[in-house]
Amino acid sequence: MMLFRSARNTDLDAIHHLAEESGIGLTTLSKDKKILAKRLHWSTESFHKSVEKPNNEYYLFVLENPKNKKIIGVSGIESCTGHESPFYSYKISKRTRICRSLDIRSDYEVLSLVNDNQGRSEICTLFLEPKYRKHKNGLLLSKARFLFIAQHPKRFASTVIAEMRGISDKNGISPFWENVGSHFFHMSFAEADRLTLTTDKQFIADLMPRNPIYIKLLSLQAQAAIGQPHPSTQTAMNILLKEGFRYNKYIDIFDAGPTLEVPRLKIKTIELSHLVTIKNISDEVSSTNYLLSNTQLDFRATINSALVNKEKNTCIISKNTANLLQVTCGDQLRVAPLQLNVGELNG
């Protein structure tokens, strides 16, 4: 049984270790320890502030093995994209040209630089240590964020997005970047990715082509990468698709990974979650596994058995669960059923 909880400033070393393992393309999990420390401080402040509407908050969570306190994963939520600097995406749109005199019709797609996803909440910063990608750890790391959103809806926008990591090889070479971005930025994919986190992103507006890009003119490798997740991210994407997220033809401007979106209230875990009062705490409980969380900003969640009475909105949980969530009889929990297992999370 793993613990999903709010990250603390003291988690910096452990989170930095995960960042070192994460490879290239996970923009919000910087390998620069100073940047990580700033983001961790930003998260800590966000958890402690009073919020009536989303206003540039960032919530970082860790997945911890309670037996040895080892942090094995990390995930986050940004409350409002593009608050301090523009949030850029490429939008794929279709165009048609018809020459009636020659009886020729030409349909083609273009990429246009847009800010359409500005102001939306974004789930992000997800990475699970490879050897722990089993026993529903990935489901907990991904889905527990939705219980936090359900419990604190004022903190989030009405639409939630997720940028999935795009295609790149083991050396961090992105075919889309090599065919598009590198010609305008004159730097590596990794360097451009780093600058999105350390600058106000003005360099994107300054250097990105302002006219639409014709997809047919790109290399076959770059075309094939458009809207495709990195293999290590496919299962994470499957989990989100099961939650109701959909790909609506927006992609990352650097690696062409797909951007998924969903109305916040249509996220399945949020729709199916509800509050129950702890009626009793038993030594052990043998029943259905649920996604369980406390209701505090000092957020804690886990997956474990619980006896839930839906008619009375009460539950019985084990002592281990109560200790992990730091709750007692009479306290409320938010519970949600586990969805159909789509495999363990791979990045």
Residue spans of the domains in the chain: they are: 3-91+113-269, 270-337
Q: Is the pLDDT of residue 341 over 50?
A: no
Residues 282-301: pLDDT tens digits? Answer: 999 988 999 999 999 999 99
Which tokens is 333 given?
A: 């929990």
pLDDT at residue 198, as a whole number: 76
Asked if residue 227 has pLDDT above 60, the reply is yes
**pLDDT (0 to 100) of residue 181:** 92
**Which position among 16, 41, 48, 230 bears the catalytic label?**
230
Instruction: Supply 180's token pair.
Output: 């598009």
Instruction: Copy the structure tokens of residue 93.
Output: 């749109």
Give the long-range contacts of residues 207-211, CB within 8 A, separation 24 or more: 208/88, 208/113, 208/184, 208/253, 209/113, 209/184, 210/113
Q: How far apart are alpha carbons 114 and 229 in whole angstroms? A: 20
Give the amino acid at 72.
I
Residue type, 257: G
What number does CATH give the domain 3-91+113-269? 3.40.630.30
**What confidence tens digit (pLDDT) does each residue in 99-140 have?**
999 999 999 999 999 999 999 999 999 999 999 999 999 999
The token duo for 16 is 């930095």
As a whole number of Å, the CA-based R_g of the chain is 21
% the chain with pLDDT above 70: 97
pLDDT at 342: 44
Which distant-in-sequence residues (6+ apart) come within 8 Å of 279 by Cβ? 309, 314, 315, 316, 329
User: Known catalytic residue: 230?
Assistant: yes
In 3D, which of 331, 328, 287 has the Cα closest to residue 309? 287
pLDDT band at residue 201, thresholds of 50, 70 and 90?
A: confident
Where does the pLDDT of residue 270 fall: very low under 50, low under 70, confident under 90, or very high at 90 and above?
Answer: very high
Q: Which CATH architecture has domain 270-337?
A: Beta Barrel (2.40)
The model carries a pTM of: 0.93
